[in-house]
Structure 1
Amino acid sequence: MMKKLSPTLKNIVKLLNDGHYHSGEALGEHLMISRNAVWKNMKQLTELGVELETIPSKGYCMKHPLILLDSKQISQYIEPHPTLKINQWDIFGSIDSTSDYFRSQAPRDGLHVCLAEHQTAGRGRFGRAWHSPFGANIYLSCRWPLNQDASNLGGLSLVISLAIVAALSEYGISGLSIKWPNDILWQGKKLAGVLVELQAESHGLTQIIIGIGINVNMKRLPTPEINQAWVSLDSIVDRPLSKLAAESQKQGAPERRTGAYTSVCEDSST
């Protein structure tokens, strides 16, 4: 199921990001909505897994700030690439899986990017569950049609992993390594993952679906579905990070490297 976030819910998150208590009446007056509408939005945030504290005499408080994704802001940061133009952005509040989204969509020309604040059925290699708390991390997939046979694309997962390492290194993050075939580690702990899926079509065209998950502000909550050591960017740098900054850096690097990879594939086939 795909859900967009309403402008009202986004505005409530912005108000609660100060970490203070806000009464339902005050929020309603500020946003010009009823207290019942405020309650419904709070219920939605709770259902998405957001930690809210409620005290009858004080109101609502969100202990951990959420920096929600904004397509216009992200596009301002992305470095233009001469051959890979992003034709369409889709951002969802909640979705089953960003990669599965493309499986349900008809192929399109150019690069198509899908991001989500939350995944209900995020998955990694071999269908393993990918823990996807709301508003905490980057959950991204892109679909890219390439005029190449799938047999020529065996190294693409490594190329994407190298691109993520390069992007994170630009932030001064060291201690990164790649665990073949699709894990990015920091000091031996999983920081990000890559899932590349190929859909071969007629006439030598291949639809490439690249799924990327990267831990940005994930808190150490009980996560029984994670059975390995993991780390989040905010704990590495010891401060909360904007997903916008991480996304814009990371998105630019794969474009540059996949562009180079495309050139190599095309040269090898001629």
Structure 2
Amino acid sequence: MWSQSQSVSPRIVEAPFTGSTNADLVAALRSGEDWPHLGVLLTRDQRSGRGRLDRAWTAPPGASLAISVVLDLSRIPVERRGWIPLIAGTAMAGSAGEQLAGVGVKWPNDVLVGGRKLCGILAEVATSDRVVVGSGVNTRMTAEQLPVETAASFASLGVDVDEDALLAGYLARLGGLAERLARGSVRDEVRESCVTLGQRVTAHLPGGGGITGIATNLAEDGRLEIDGQPIGVGDIVHLRNAE
């Protein structure tokens, strides 16, 4: 099933079902299990998935693909590690874009197609030199199964997704971007795929309140600049898409 992906990843484990692939892989690494760089735990039946800010993420069995990948941080300087969710989103957008048109990254961790959410990204530190990057991709979810009007899936767009090609392309791009991040800047690559840039947005900040303006750029550390002001954490609303 995963023949293309196995040419990229040294270890792929598919669980018939689980609560959370991220939680399982983080626990495995913390218990001392030896998972290699680009090792993958995945399932088509994740029952207690979590998104950013600890939000619940669920889907009917078989309707989505939950993928958790181990990244080796040992060669990536600490000050560059904030880019990891962004390179994961960029990698997934690039791979999904081989089967869908109009795919891009919404800062900091969503993959959109035609302005609707196809995939979310969640990066969790497992150990001092390992991070687990989780992604939940809406693959075979029907239009009726989509949780909100702002979501999309391959199936709802009339595409019978090749999951092996999707995973293989994602892993190859993620590995390449992680290598470039270890050597230097990935800002140009991420900026090219980031559909938030140039849009009028509102950033809802964790402590309350918000900032509205034009998303003008990405800072050197991956923060989003809104009218020149860098934002490190916040829920971003694309106002043109929200109208």
Is 1:254 equivalent to 2:182 in the alignment? no
Distance in 2 separating the partners of 1:229 and 1:183? 12
Structure showing greater Rg? 1
Q: How does 1:89-104 map to 2 (within 5 A)?
A: 89-104=12-27
Cα displacement (A) at 1:159: 1.1
Is 1:169 equivalent to 2:89 in the alignment? no
Cα displacement (A) at 1:160: 1.2
Distance in 2 separating the partners of 1:220 and 1:228? 9
Distance in 2 separating the partners of 1:166 and 1:214? 13
Is 1:128 equivalent to 2:32 in the alignment? no
Cα displacement (A) at 1:212: 0.9
| Structure 2: gaps (5+ residues) | 186-243
Is 1:110 equivalent to 2:36 in the alignment? yes
SS in 1 for 2:151: coil
Distance in 1 separating the partners of 2:4 and 2:62? 20
SS in 2 for 1:211: strand
Cα displacement (A) at 1:164: 1.2
8 A contact 2:10–2:36 mirrored in 1: yes
8 A contact 1:176–1:184 mirrored in 2: yes
Cα displacement (A) at 1:218: 0.4
Distance in 1 separating the partners of 2:13 and 2:26? 14
| Structure 1: gaps (5+ residues) | 1-69, 266-270
Cα displacement (A) at 1:131: 1.9
Is 1:229 equivalent to 2:150 in the alignment? yes
Cα displacement (A) at 1:261: 1.9
How many residues align? The count is 180
Change (3 A) 1:233 1:210: same
Structure 1 stretches (4+) deviating beyond 4 angstroms? Answer: none
> Which structure shows the bigger proportion of residues in strand conformation?
2
Cα displacement (A) at 1:257: 1.9
Equivalent of 1:264 in 184, 198, 202: 184
Change (3 A) 1:222 1:246: closer
Identity of aligned residues (%): 23
Q: Deviations over 1:214-267 (max 9, x none)?
A: 1111013456xx45610111232x2432323322222322222222222328xx
Change (3 A) 1:247 1:163: same
Q: Which amino acid in 1 is paired with 2:164?
A: L
> Which structure shows the bigger proportion of residues in helix conformation?
1
Cα displacement (A) at 1:190: 0.5
- Output the TM-score relative to the length of structure 1: 0.60
Q: Deviations over 1:111-167 (max 9, x none)?
A: 221001211101110111112321222110012232145443011111111111111
Q: How does 1:28-43 map to 2 (within 5 A)?
A: none
8 A contact 2:6–2:12 mirrored in 1: no
Distance in 1 separating the partners of 2:97 and 2:116? 16
Distance in 1 separating the partners of 2:93 and 2:143? 23
Change (3 A) 1:170 1:220: closer
Paired position in structure 2 for 1:143 = 70
Is 1:158 equivalent to 2:86 in the alignment? yes
